[in-house]
Amino acid sequence: MVVPLQVQNESLLKGLRFLVVDDFAAMRDMIFQMLKSLQVSEIDMVSDGKQAVSKMVLSHYDVVLCDYNLGHGKNGQQILEEARQRDLIRVSDIFVMITAESGADMVMGAIEHRPDDYISKPFNKELLKNRIERLILRKQNLAPIVREVTLGNIEKALEICDELIAANPKNILEVMRYKADMLMRERSYLQAIDAYEAINQRRPMPWARLGVAVGHFHTLHYEESYKILTALLSENPHYVECYDWLAQIEAKRDDYDRAIGLLQEAITISPFSVPRYRTLGEYQRKKGDLEGAEHSFTRVISLASESIHEDAGNNAKLAAVLIDKGESAKALKALSGLKKKYRMDPEGLLQISLSENRAHIARGSDQLAQQSIDEVDKLTHRITEPLSASTSLEVAKAYFSNGKDDEGVEKLKELVGNHHDDTDLLHNIEAVFDEHHLGEMGRELIATAKKEIVDLNNRGVTLAKQGKLNEAKTLFINALKSMPDNITINLNAAQIFVMALKDETNHNNYEDMEQLNRCINRVRILDPRNSKLAKLLTHLPKRK
């Protein structure tokens, strides 16, 4: 029987739920005993990444203690990335990476996927307790900020940040960092740059300098960004994220050779990043290095297997490269069997059918091409969830290449309506129009659509101000018929329904409630972290 170690004052760990991930049974047992002696009673233990993720899906843990090196399958870093991307851990939760060499392991992960702390083996109970208690205390003063962010009150959150920073707490750097990262997520790039510079004035930190560089990148100041990134790399050639951003700058300058070289360097340092290989493949394809692109996308597919990055889009990209190479038969072979794999994923199925269609056209198999475009058509009409813009664009292109120009134009129109403020996408849409000698029409269409949407929103707002809510409702309901995935319109419409439902005489109007729900759900799917949506949700009328 294990005699409990002397129990001092109440442990802060008491009452928290722990998940321990370690492939070494004896190690799991040891950590279990330590936690028990620290008065922790709820402890789950698993031995690999797959189990860890499914545990986190099923229940919430306050603290995850995860070994970095888990033998086969995902490593600790990949588990953390997946958990963050799938919102399985909240900001207030604690994720601690247990490593053999924290220094080198840190280099491997992207900054936004750093764990809260690294603990190096061997450690004892005291060390574990101290570290976790400190993290708990640190997160406590961040909690009010996090709450405001979740509610969408960014202004309020910034206010609290500034108050806290002025009070100079022990974790002032973390607060400053939280503020800067938040501004970056909100795309307030100029303010974000200021916030990172404030950190650098205290003491230049590599990640804060990277923050400044990223801010400059987004505000199109490539020169400044470039300077900072190269300086960072000359100080620490292992800072992999710098290569990624430099590569993006080179790609913006159309220098794909250099962009590719930079990504390849990053890959020799950190060889398991799916997004990095994907970008590399895309650049190689653009440059016409089809061999290289084939290799990269093959790598993407194998690395992404059973991870958050697994996606039929990866297979579609590989197929596209093979078709470009004139190996359509090989492309078809690579696609076979995927429909079964992605049978629960309508967009995935659509991407596969689109690829097949292209391969059949390339091989001159008219009948099979016809069959597959029919499939594309059927899937497009059957899918009710919003499609990603890139897949929609592929559908439009497919209509054109199968001689269905009218459907193609229709699809492009729809895309413009749904994404009137996405400049990069509009640029690509224009290119498709141009390619089919419809450039004039395309430009006009985009210009009118943009203007119409601005007018529509203005009209809606004016009507609402005048108290003509019913007219405003009709206006937006009609607009959503042709632009169901336009985020701005959905948000404005939702706003109108909220106003309408606030009226005493109307607050049991089920039709309005249903419309409101529809708008909210749409935005939730299109942009889950939309801060305007979060704000709107806090103003929802209470059901009586």
Contact 501, 515 (CB under 8 A): no
Residue reference for tokens 């590719």: 260
Question: What minimum distance in Å lies between the beta carbon of 124 and another protein?
Answer: 6
Alpha helices in 18-73 (DSSP H): 25-37, 49-58
Question: What minimum distance in Å lies between the beta carbon of 244 and another protein?
Answer: 18
Query: Does 166 help bind another protein (rule: CB under 8 A)?
Result: no
Question: What minimum distance in Å lies between the beta carbon of 68 and another protein?
Answer: 8
Question: What minimum distance in Å lies between the beta carbon of 51 and another protein?
Answer: 19
Please say whether the dihedral angle defined by the alpha carbons of residues 398, 400, 406 and 409, taken in this order, is positive or negative.
positive
Task: Mark the segment that binds another protein (CB under 8 A) among 25-33, 247-255, 259-267, 438-446.
Answer: 25-33
Tell which positions 183-212 bind another protein, by CB under 8 A.
203-206
Question: What minimum distance in Å lies between the beta carbon of 42 and another protein?
Answer: 21
Quote the DSSP letter at residue 111.
G
Query: Does 264 help bind another protein (rule: CB under 8 A)?
Result: no
Q: Which of 12, 106, 461, 477 binds another protein (CB under 8 A)?
A: 106
Residue reference for tokens 């056209």: 361
Within 10 angstroms of residue 443's Cβ, the number of other Cβ atoms is 14
Between 24 and 222, CB nearer to another protein: 24
Question: What minimum distance in Å lies between the beta carbon of 75 and another protein?
Answer: 11
Q: Which of 12, 165, 173, 383 binds another protein (CB under 8 A)?
A: 173
Question: What minimum distance in Å lies between the beta carbon of 26 and another protein?
Answer: 5
Please say whether the dihedral angle defined by the alpha carbons of residues 36, 39, 42 and 47, taken in this order, is positive or negative.
negative
Tell which positions 336-395 bind another protein, by CB under 8 A.
none
Query: Does 3 help bind another protein (rule: CB under 8 A)?
Result: yes
Residue reference for tokens 């299109």: 526
Per-residue interface string for the shown chain with another protein, residues 30-59, x marking contact by CB under 8 A? x--xx-------------------------
Q: Which of 14, 60, 85, 127 binds another protein (CB under 8 A)?
A: 127
Contact 67, 27 (CB under 8 A): yes
Question: What minimum distance in Å lies between the beta carbon of 126 and another protein?
Answer: 5
Nearest to 308 by CA among 8, 30, 74: 74
CB neighbour class for 372 (10 Å; exposed up to 12, middle 13-18, buried from 19):
buried
Between 28 and 360, CB nearer to another protein: 28
Query: Does 2 help bind another protein (rule: CB under 8 A)?
Result: yes
Query: Does 401 help bind another protein (rule: CB under 8 A)?
Result: no
Between 177 and 419, CB nearer to another protein: 177
Between 75 and 391, CB nearer to another protein: 75
Q: Which of 11, 12, 17, 27 binds another protein (CB under 8 A)?
A: 27
β-bridge partners, 63: 18, 94
At 346, the amino acid letter reads P
Question: What minimum distance in Å lies between the beta carbon of 100 and another protein?
Answer: 4
Radius of gyration of the chain (CA): 26
- # of chain residues touching another protein (CB under 8 A): 40
Tell me the three state secondary structure of residue 94.
strand
Between 34 and 79, CB nearer to another protein: 34
Please say whether the dihedral angle defined by the alpha carbons of residues 491, 496, 499 and 505, taken in this order, is positive or negative.
negative
At 312, the amino acid letter reads A
Between 126 and 434, CB nearer to another protein: 126
Query: Does 11 help bind another protein (rule: CB under 8 A)?
Result: no
Contact 69, 89 (CB under 8 A): no
Alpha helices in 419-530 (DSSP H): 423-435, 439-465, 469-482, 487-502, 510-526
Contact 460, 491 (CB under 8 A): no
β-bridge partners, 95: 64
Cα–Cα distance measured from residue 157 to residue 42, given in angstroms and rounded to the nearest whole number: 33
Q: Which of 14, 60, 86, 170 binds another protein (CB under 8 A)?
A: 170
Query: Does 100 help bind another protein (rule: CB under 8 A)?
Result: yes
Query: Does 126 help bind another protein (rule: CB under 8 A)?
Result: yes
Query: Does 124 help bind another protein (rule: CB under 8 A)?
Result: yes
Question: What minimum distance in Å lies between the beta carbon of 212 and another protein?
Answer: 16
| One-character DSSP codes across 374-412 | HHHHHHHHH--SPPPHHHHHHHHHHHHHTT-HHHHHHHH
User: What does the binding site for another protein look like in residue numbers (CB under 8 A)?
Assistant: 2-3, 5, 24, 26-27, 30, 33-34, 69, 100-104, 106-107, 118, 120-127, 130-131, 134, 170, 173, 203-206, 235-238, 268
